[in-house]
């Protein structure tokens, strides 16, 4: 088979798992990375797992530059699928929030869609890594009568969000996804490909390669487990933040690849959530805060008891009830996936850090 899939930002936490699924399915993968070093590292790491894989990594230094992907499509005019994962997901930038979040998310999405339309004559499926950020409605956090689903849209605006890094990141993801659906509508008669978006909440689980843990720098979401492992028994908290819902990186990766084969996923927003599935309707299982992470670590790793914090919240069910209410039945039914439980995700990520990382 020579079915070519382009994966932008292929060295990212989620993208490396996406590559793993694609290569195990014998797709011909063309990744993009910002530097040769990063490209070489991706190729080197996968060579050990899949010695006969077809994997190229092209350098795209800046996805926000007009025509950023032109050379890639000129080199591989027969790309059949595009998985756009690249976007900034780290905080503490000395740029404006517009430069750090809005432009990479929206302009990067616009560029890759436009080039896929003009130069990608064979593109059939297009998948974008969006986020629960584009679903969540902060005005209804803790509101049991407001259920977030695949049909919910974050009502935030750039004007409202731009003054704060986190809210700017959230708004940038919403605006990027919205602009992608608008693009599809506007070019309805000429676009030869379908669009699916994946809207994950907090993504965690093991790094694709143990060597990433050794380097000690984990991506933003995985770092919370690292932080919990670094606590001491006298840690004073806070234990009630962040109050979020999670999903497993391996499930998120699978959701990026399923639309290439399953046409029922065309035009859909997919919403992965820990511990949900066609037969599982307990819509609080994926909620977490620092207390819940510590509870899982203390339960699953007896050797850590007395070394890390036990937390300090008596009634965590009550604390977690302040989080988002959700229902991802549509995604479960369409994909048939039983999403990994939160305990499994936390356990597997922590095990890898304990085996291969240093907690300082």
Q: How many Å apart are CA 176 and CA 269, to the nearest integer?
A: 14
Q: Which two tokens stand for residue 20?
A: 């793993």
Q: How far is the CB of 201 from ligand NDP (least distance, A)?
A: 7
Which CB atom, from 8 or from 285, has the smaller least distance to ligand NDP?
8
214 three-state secondary structure: helix
Residues in touch with ligand NDP (CB under 6 A): 9, 11-15, 34, 38, 62-64, 85-90, 104, 129, 131, 173, 200, 202-203, 219, 221
Which CB atom, from 167 or from 298, has the smaller least distance to ligand NDP?
167
Q: How far is the CB of 161 from ligand NDP (least distance, A)?
A: 15
Across the strands, what pairs with 59? 33
Q: How many helices (H) and strands (E) does the chain have?
A: 14, 12
Q: How many Å apart are CA 282 and CA 12, to the nearest integer?
A: 31
DSSP character string of 47-93: HHH-TT--EEEEE-S-TTSTTTTHHHHHH-TTEEEEEE---------
With both helix axes pointing from N to C terminus, report the angle between 13-24 and 36-49 in degrees, rounded to the nearest 10.
40
Which CB atom, from 70 or from 219, has the smaller least distance to ligand NDP?
219
Q: How far is the CB of 103 from ligand NDP (least distance, A)?
A: 8
The answer to whether 312 and 236 are in contact (CB under 8 A) is yes
The answer to whether 144 and 102 are in contact (CB under 8 A) is no
Q: How many Å apart are CA 186 and CA 176, to the nearest integer?
A: 15
Task: Sort strands 79-84 and 125-129 into parallel, antiparallel or unpaired.
Answer: parallel
Which CB atom, from 298 or from 331, has the smaller least distance to ligand NDP?
331
Enter the DSSP assignment of 25: T
Which CB atom, from 88 or from 298, has the smaller least distance to ligand NDP?
88
Q: How far is the CB of 336 from ligand NDP (least distance, A)?
A: 22
Burial of 110 (0-12, 13-18, 19+ CB in 10 A): middle
Which CB atom, from 91 or from 281, has the smaller least distance to ligand NDP?
91
75 is catalytic: no
Q: Which two tokens stand for residue 86?
A: 């690249």
Enter the DSSP assignment of 61: S
Q: Which two tokens stand for residue 49?
A: 């797992």
196 three-state secondary structure: strand
In Å, what is the CA distance from 174 to each residue of 150, 151, 154, 177, 309? 13, 13, 7, 5, 36
Q: How far is the CB of 57 from ligand NDP (least distance, A)?
A: 11
Which CB atom, from 131 or from 309, has the smaller least distance to ligand NDP?
131
Closest residue to ligand NDP, Cβ-based?
12
Which is catalytic among the residues 74, 75, 122, 173? 173
Q: How far is the CB of 302 from ligand NDP (least distance, A)?
A: 29
Q: Which residues of 282-291 are buried (b: 16+ CB within 10 A; e: fewer)?
A: ebebbbbbbb
Q: How far is the CB of 318 from ligand NDP (least distance, A)?
A: 25
Please list the active-site residues. Answer: 173
């Amino acid at each position: 088979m020579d079915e070519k899939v382009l994966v932008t930002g292929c060295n990212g936490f989620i993208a490396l798992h996406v590559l793993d699924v694609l290569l195990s399915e014998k797709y011909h993968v063309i990744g993009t990375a910002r530097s040769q070093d990063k490209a070489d590292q991706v190729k080197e790491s996968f060579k050990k797992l899949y010695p006969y894989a077809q994997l190229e990594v092209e350098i795209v230094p800046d996805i926000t530059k007009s025509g950023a992907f032109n050379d890639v499509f000129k080199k591989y005019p027969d790309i059949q699928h595009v998985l756009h994962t690249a976007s900034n997901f780290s905080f503490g930038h000395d740029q404006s929030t517009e430069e750090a979040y809005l432009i990479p998310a929206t302009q990067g999405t616009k560029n890759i869609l436009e080039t896929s339309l003009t130069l990608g004559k064979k593109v059939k499926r297009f998948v974008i890594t969006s986020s629960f950020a584009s679903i969540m409605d902060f005005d209804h956090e803790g509101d049991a009568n407001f259920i977030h689903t695949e049909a919910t849209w974050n009502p935030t605006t750039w004007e409202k969000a731009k003054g704060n890094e986190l809210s700017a990141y959230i708004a940038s993801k919403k605006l990027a996804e919205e602009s992608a659906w608008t693009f599809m509508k506007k070019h309805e008669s000429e676009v030869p490909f379908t669009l699916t978006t994946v809207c994950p909440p907090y993504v965690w689980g093991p790094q694709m390669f143990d060597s990433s843990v050794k380097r000690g720098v984990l991506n933003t979401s995985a770092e919370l487990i690292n932080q919990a492992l670094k606590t001491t028994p006298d840690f004073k908290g806070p234990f009630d933040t962040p109050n979020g819902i999670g999903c497993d990186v391996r499930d998120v990766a699978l959701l990026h690849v399923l639309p290439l084969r399953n046409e029922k996923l065309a035009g859909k927003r997919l919403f992965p959530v820990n511990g949900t599935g066609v037969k599982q309707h307990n819509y609080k299982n994926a909620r977490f805060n620092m207390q819940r992470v510590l509870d899982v670590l203390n339960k699953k790793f007896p050797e850590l008891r007395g070394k890390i914090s036990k937390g300090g919240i008596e009634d965590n069910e009550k604390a977690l009830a302040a989080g988002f209410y959700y229902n991802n039945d549509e995604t479960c039914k369409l994909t048939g996936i039983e999403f990994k439980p939160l305990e499994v995700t936390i356990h597997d990520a922590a095990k890898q850090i304990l085996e291969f990382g240093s907690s300082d």
